[in-house]
Amino acid sequence: MDIIREIDFMVLDYVREHLRNGFLDNIMPIVTMCGDMGIFWVAVALIISAKKKYKQCSITMLIGMIVGVLIGNFVVKNIVQRDRPCWIIDIENMLIANPKDFSFPSGHTMSSFIASTILFYYDKKLGIPSFAVALLIAFSRLYLYVHFPTDIIGGALLGVAIAAMTISTTNKYIFKKEKTSE
């Protein structure tokens, strides 16, 4: 575990020392705010639900986000109980408030990958740019020194797994019934 932690800090320190600048200092708190409580992705789901074509996608996204909160934020974070990098190393001039919950997995990343994976499943033209947004939100968590790279990787993998499970479950139990009743 020590080597993983060393690599995590090497990546975080590289980002902090070589990529940090005034422009990103202003942008990254806004980017990360889009991931707060999955708000950006919930908004996307609600907006696309206006079109009948995206009804199933929207419902699947919202269910996936709820499952993500339950599994990632309430279960995994509290089992792993990993300290955040900003708890371990005191960072001067934090650009956002110091988070109060545990670090692993990154909830921002998890919700972003749940939404992006589901969008990609239903519409690749929406899914591809949504993955770019998901990656940007994930990077913002590193930039702001509130997550380790392994938190981001774990959040992304868990997000894809939850999305796949949600797609499979909704297709089998929810939308199958809708299709037979039409």
CB contact at 8 A, 130 and 120: yes
Angstrom CA distances, 106 to 9, 23, 140, stand at: 16, 24, 11
What is the predicted pLDDT for the residue at 92? 80
What is the predicted pLDDT for the residue at 54? 95
- The number of C-alpha atoms within 13 Å of 88 and in the hemisphere containing its C-beta is 15
Mean pLDDT of 2-15: 94
What is the predicted pLDDT for the residue at 180? 46
pLDDT tens across 123-141, in order?
999 999 999 999 999 999 9
Mean pLDDT of 75-104: 92
- Residue 178, pLDDT > 70, answer no
- Residue 90, pLDDT > 90, answer no
**Which segment of 28-42, 88-102, 134-148 scores lowest on mean pLDDT?**
88-102
What is the predicted pLDDT for the residue at 177? 56
- Residue 100, pLDDT > 50, answer yes
Question: In sequence order, which ranges of the chain are alpha helices (DSSP H)?
Answer: 2-14, 22-35, 39-48, 55-68, 77-80, 85-88, 107-122, 124-143, 149-169, 175-181
Q: Which of 155, 161, 152, 120 is nearest to 12 (CA)?
A: 152
Please state, for a pLDDT cut of 70, what percent of the chain lies above it: 96
What is the predicted pLDDT for the residue at 176? 79
Q: Is 146 helix (H, G, I), strand (E, B) or coil?
A: coil
Number of domains forming the structure of the chain: 1
Indicate which CATH number applies to the domain containing 66: 1.10.606.20
CB contact at 8 A, 147 and 15: no
> Which structural domain, as residue segments, surrounds residue 10?
2-181
pLDDT tens across 49-79, in order?
999 999 999 999 999 999 999 999 999 999 9
7's torsion region: left (phi>0), alpha (psi -120 to 50) or beta? alpha
Measured CA to CA, the distance from residue 92 to residue 101 in angstroms comes to 20
Question: Other CB atoms closer than 10 Å to residue 20's CB: what's the count?
Answer: 14
What is the predicted pLDDT for the residue at 76? 97
